[in-house]
């Protein structure tokens, strides 16, 4: 019994040792960025804060260095790089060339002389945000010097600063700003509308294509390959193809609709919020840009659903369908009572994955509309907050809201979704 327990403990330690690299990789790739996003969401961080505050000091020599004994002015210009945060205990040092003698020195500076070097130290104290200034030294040289002699040593600066990213000062102002914005709930409604119909449409079209491709017919392999084109094609290529196809001035779709009398004037499909279209004698007002983005989402991502559903359908025993056909079941009854119970699990998984991916989708919308004409979603809002107006904290707060929403949705969906009978 002791030998077995010892062996079991060794196997457990070995298993943990083998899994340790995976745990470290998950922490590095998933958990650390997630923690960093939460951290930044509680900070008043802008793009300028990504570069820590520092003091810039530049040295410049004024005067002619043609012969010994002439007066020379050494100018040190300093500047606080931060627009918001002061620097404290600021000082800088520089090594003066041999043969330099000081005739006048700034009261903030001292020179330490040794047998070989003269070390200049200037104490600036606290430097306010955006502050700049200069220090002048009047010197003369006993020997002939060149300006390169002053560049042999670099100016070394010392300071203390406040880094907003690493400090322990937190605020909820980012979340208050996000939730108090007048357009937030409109953007959330647009995101849910776009995500739900884009996901459901991709699943339904994928189910329809899988049902057709399940039957053998000449050229089926070629047709399957064609159906995969929207998913494997570069998104930037297909997005611009759609933009050109539906262009209001030179697009073929508008030209055909005008010829058929469906519309009286060209429609800017990706730049117009609403448009009135005449169908069957009725005038229907549609959210054009948002509808087009959803149709693009369905067209581009239905092949993924098609592949998964087709693979699951082909694993269903054919004997079930033969027996149902002998019992007089119609094709619809065979599909509803035989196929659906076997593929309901994969449909649930696909809906969850596609919902999450579509909710986080940014590149499709940005390439097609730029988030304009009523297509602004939460992911576009993250981009606009973080980069368009340089408010990284608010952008991170929106990203956290997206994460919490998707986490709650995933838990509820997994809890209540039906399971695959197979």
Handedness of CA 197, 202, 203, 208 (dihedral sign): positive
Residue 167 is predicted with a pLDDT of 81
| Contact in structure between 333 and 387 (CB atoms under 8 Å) | no
Residue ranges covered by each domain of the chain:
53-161, 176-250+288-416
At residue 110, what are phi and psi to the nearest 5 degrees?
-135, 155
DSSP string, 160-185: EE--TTTSS---SHHHHHHHHSTTHH
* Location of structure tokens 């940005």: 366
Q: Rounded CA gap, 347 and 333, in Å?
A: 19
Choosing among 1.10.490.10, 2.60.40.290, 3.40.50.300, 3.40.50.1820, the CATH entry for 53-161 is: 2.60.40.290
Q: Rounded CA gap, 233 and 238, in Å?
A: 7
Q: Rounded CA gap, 89 and 83, in Å?
A: 18
399 CB neighbour count, 10 Å cutoff = 22
Q: Rounded CA gap, 48 and 85, in Å?
A: 11
Pairing of strands 87-96, 71-80: unpaired
What CATH architecture applies to the domain 176-250+288-416? Orthogonal Bundle (1.10)
SS3 assignment, position 33: helix
Q: Rounded CA gap, 28 and 51, in Å?
A: 23
* Adjacent-strand bridge partners of 134: 77
What H or E segment, with its residue span, contains residue 16? helix 2-26
Query: What's the pTM value of the predicted model, to 2 decimals?
Result: 0.79
pLDDT 10s digit of each residue in the chain, 422 long? 566 677 778 888 888 888 888 888 888 888 888 898 999 999 888 877 778 889 999 988 876 655 666 677 888 999 998 888 899 999 999 888 777 777 888 889 998 887 677 888 999 999 999 899 999 888 776 666 665 666 667 889 999 988 888 888 888 999 999 998 888 999 999 999 999 999 999 999 999 999 988 888 888 888 888 999 999 999 999 999 999 999 988 889 989 888 888 778 888 899 888 877 666 666 777 788 999 999 999 999 999 999 999 999 988 888 888 888 888 888 888 888 888 888 888 999 999 999 999 999 999 999 999 999 889 999 999 999 888 888 889 999 999 999 999 999 999 998 887 665 54
What H or E segment, with its residue span, contains residue 310? helix 288-313
């Amino acid at each position: 019994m002791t030998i077995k327990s010892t062996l079991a403990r060794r196997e457990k330690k070995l298993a943990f040792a083998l899994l340790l690299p995976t745990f470290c990789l998950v922490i590095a790739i998933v958990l650390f960025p997630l923690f960093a996003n939460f951290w930044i969401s509680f900070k008043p961080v802008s793009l300028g804060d990504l570069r820590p505050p520092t003091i810039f000091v530049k040295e410049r020599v004024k005067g002619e260095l043609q012969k010994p004994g002439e007066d020379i002015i050494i100018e040190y210009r300093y500047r606080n790089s931060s627009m918001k945060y002061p620097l404290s205990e600021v000082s800088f040092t520089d090594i003066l060339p041999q043969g330099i003698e000081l005739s006048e020195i700034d009261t903030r500076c001292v020179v330490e002389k040794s047998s070989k070097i003269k070390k200049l130290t200037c104490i600036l104290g606290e430097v306010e945000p955006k502050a700049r200034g200069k220090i002048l030294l009047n010197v003369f040289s006993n020997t002939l010097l060149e300006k390169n002699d002053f560049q042999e040593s670099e100016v070394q600066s010392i300071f203390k600063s406040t880094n907003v990213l690493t400090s322990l000062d937190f605020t909820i102002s980012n979340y208050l700003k996000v939730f108090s914005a007048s357009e937030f709930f409109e953007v959330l409604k647009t995101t849910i509308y776009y995500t739900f119909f884009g996901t459901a449409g991709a699943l339904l079209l994928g189910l329809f294509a899988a049902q057709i491709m399940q039957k053998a017919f000449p050229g089926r392999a070629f047709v399957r390959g064609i159906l995969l084109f929207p998913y494997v094609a570069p998104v930037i290529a297909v997005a611009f193809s759609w933009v050109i196809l539906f262009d209001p001035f030179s697009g073929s779709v508008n030209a055909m609709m005008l010829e058929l009398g469906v519309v009286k004037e060209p429609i800017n499909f990706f730049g117009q919020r609403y448009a009135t279209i005449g169908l069957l004698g009725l005038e229907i007002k549609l959210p054009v840009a948002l509808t087009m983005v959803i149709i693009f989402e369905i067209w581009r991502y239905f092949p993924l659903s098609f592949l998964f559903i087709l693979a699951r359908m082909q694993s269903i025993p054919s004997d079930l369908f033969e027996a149902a056909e002998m019992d007089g079941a119609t094709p619809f009854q065979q599909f509803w009572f035989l196929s659906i119970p076997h593929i309901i699990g994969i449909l649930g998984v696909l809906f969850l994955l596609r919902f999450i991916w579509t909710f986080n989708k940014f590149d499709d919308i940005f390439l097609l509309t730029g988030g304009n004409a009523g297509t602004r979603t939460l992911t576009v809002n993250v981009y606009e907050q973080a980069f368009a107006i340089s408010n990284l904290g608010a952008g991170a707060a929106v990203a956290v809201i997206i994460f919490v929403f998707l986490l709650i949705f995933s838990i509820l969906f997994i809890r209540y979704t039906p399971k695959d009978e197979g």
